[in-house]
Amino acid sequence: MHTSEQARVFYWCRKPFCGARVVPFGSAVGVTAGRERLMTTTVADVMVATLKASGVRQIYGIPGDSLNGFTDALRRDGGIAWEHVRHEEAAGFAAAAEAALTGELAVCAGSCGPGNLHLINGLFDANRSRVPVLAIAAQIPAVEIGGGYFQETHPQELFRECSVYCEMVSVPEQLPRLLQMAMRAAVQRGGVGVVVVPGEVFLADAPSAKVTPVRTAYSMIRPDDSALAAAADVLNAARAVTILAGAGCAGAHDQLIALAGALQAPVVHAFRGKEFVEYDNPYDVGMTGLIGFSSGYRAMEHCDALLMLGTDFPYRPFLPERVPVVQVDVRGEQIGKRIPVQVPLVGTVGATIDALLPLIAAKADTAHLDRMTAHYRRVRARLDKLARDRRNDSPLHPQYVAATVDKLAATDAVFTADVGTPCIWAARYVRMNGARRLIGSFNHGSMANALPHAIGAQASHPGRQVVALCGDGGLAMLLGELITLRQMRLPVKVVVFDNGALSFVELEMKAAGIVTYGTDLDNPDFAGMARAAGLFGARVEKAGDLEDALREAFGHDGPALVDVRTVRHELSLPPKLTYGEIKGFTLYATRTVLSGGGEELVELTKANLRELDVE
């Protein structure tokens, strides 16, 4: 029997119906013990060889029958590790984090139906973060598609919204060409490439054993001279320029500093730009946005020209009105999405600044810069006072927890942060230095991202410290991934901000004038659960015990979790309070008292009275 025919017999007969016994592949077709040596090259073999030649060293996923041809090819090759997660959603997040750190292709895989469907949240995160991820989605037998078969879905339709390329392989002859196209789209466009492969195709004879590596091709793009001249005219005419810098400034730190110096411009950063912008930057005035600093907001409010560099900052109320805007983005279609732009510059940030700088007349007036940096120093001092050590505090203030993690973590640590209040504390207290990295679901905004992001970061950087800043709600969502840390021997350090609530949701409710409801979390002892799973686990309920617990966890040779009991009602005010938010908070207080929740207001007041001490 031909190999491809064997594959079909094997794949179709694998699931038992009406109690029938599943016959192993070898005995079903009489293959000898030497089958692995004699078997011709399969489609899956060529896929694995292509991925390996393209620099892929691990694939995240959970095995399943429709994936067996692929995972068996991985086993036989031995050159790519199978990172066995506990939920496919974690596989998508892990691949996203690896791609964010390396800039190279990362891969996840899921079996047919529910298996690959679970990938979707992590893939949305990767695609919206514009990092290169390949998803291999197995499919039911091709002959059964459209008949309502067991576990039938249509991945090529499901994943289209969260990908830059998504196609199904119908016949073996389409591979590896479709695989290469998906890989190329992912690395060049920045996003997710999806190939949907029926299970029998993996096992079919490969039409060709030729392997073509696919690696990122880098380019430097600059605007034309007329656009650069128009931008220079706007910036030279302005007296108070502010720069808003995002993740597009990666690799262009020196150019950014040179341009800010020539313009005497304060530099505000978006959250994704934090790791690339804030370090060694005398022009830094912090972040803006919902979880930003008032200094960042003021620098935007008081400018008479705004220069946006590599950012798709989405919060329009925090952008200035009626000032000329120059925006630089390598994707021209992104320009002007959030605010009217007078001069669009299509190019990479570094190359564009290199071409723009010779046209800039260096400014001598430092008044705008001096005011904004002074404001930032005051804000920074106030935030640091909120994080000071109060050794008898119980529960702990989250600012102190984040600042202590920052102090004790390695100089090249990778931090991942859950969406919600952990992002606030990471934004304000985890300091970047050019070597550290910060990964989060900053565009997609999914809960439960920190732990699976940490899996991808640690698997791809085995010698580097990885610290996951988890909320109690986020950790609980994908709690099973603690077992992944143990099984895969990934020494991730997990710090849990355990305040017994979905506290960011509560903040949103308070701002909207809504009585908090449905946000309570009756948490277990996460440290005890970590120990039961074979991890180091410590629980901290008093501020004086935090530093020792973190030192022990960070020094532990293996995965570790520190469960820190933190204040539930810690307020984190945005840099700009609207009348609606002030009114909403007043309504929340009134309605809370009227509904019998006066104790909550007392706790909120006690938790935040210390803020008066730092004014």
Q: Which residues are catalytic?
A: 88, 150-151, 419, 504
Q: Read off the tokens for 515.
A: 């009585």
Amino acid identity at 477: M
- Residue 469 backbone dihedrals phi, psi, to 5 degrees: -95, 100
DSSP 105-128: -EEEEE-TTHHHHTTHHHHHHHHH
Residue type present at position 104: E
Token pair of 364, please?
A: 């001598």
Give phi and psi for 293, each to the nearest 5: -105, 150
Distance CA 302, CA 167 (A): 49
Tokens describing residue 609: 């009275």
Q: Could you count the other beta carbons within 10 Å of the beta carbon of residue 142? A: 17
Q: Which two tokens stand for residue 458?
A: 């640690």
Sign of the Cα pseudo-torsion (5, 7, 11, 17, in order): positive
Q: From residue 507, how far is each of 175, 474, 501, 515, 573 by CA, in Å?
A: 51, 16, 11, 10, 9
Strands 241-245 and 437-440: unpaired
Cα–Cα distances in angstroms (integers) from residue 591 to residues 195, 572, 601, in the given order: 52, 21, 11
Q: Which of 127, 88, 123, 330 is nearest to 219 (CA)?
A: 330
- Roughly what angle, to the nearest 10 degrees, separates helices 349-356 and 225-237? 70
Whole-angstrom Cα distance, residue 450 to residue 473? 11
| Collapsed DSSP state (helix, strand, coil) of residue 302 | coil
Q: Which helix (H) or strand (E) holds 195?
A: strand 192-198
Burial 498-534 (b: 16+ CB within 10 A, else e): bbbbbbbbbbebbbebebbeebebebeebbebbeebe
CB–CB of 82/64 below 8 Å?
A: no
d(CA 581, CA 351): 42
DSSP string, 72-88: HHHHHH-SSEEEE-SSH
Query: What is the rounded distance in angstroms from the CA atom of residue 286 to the CA atom of residue 611?
Result: 20
C-alpha angle with apex 599: 596 to 600, nearest 5 degrees?
95
Element holding 196 (H helix, E strand) = strand 192-198
DSSP code at position 14: S
Q: Rounded to an integer, what distance in angstroms lies between the CA atom of residue 88 and that of residue 92?
A: 7
Largest CA distance in the chain: 85
The first and second tokens of residue 524, run together, are: 């277990």
Residue type, 334: Q
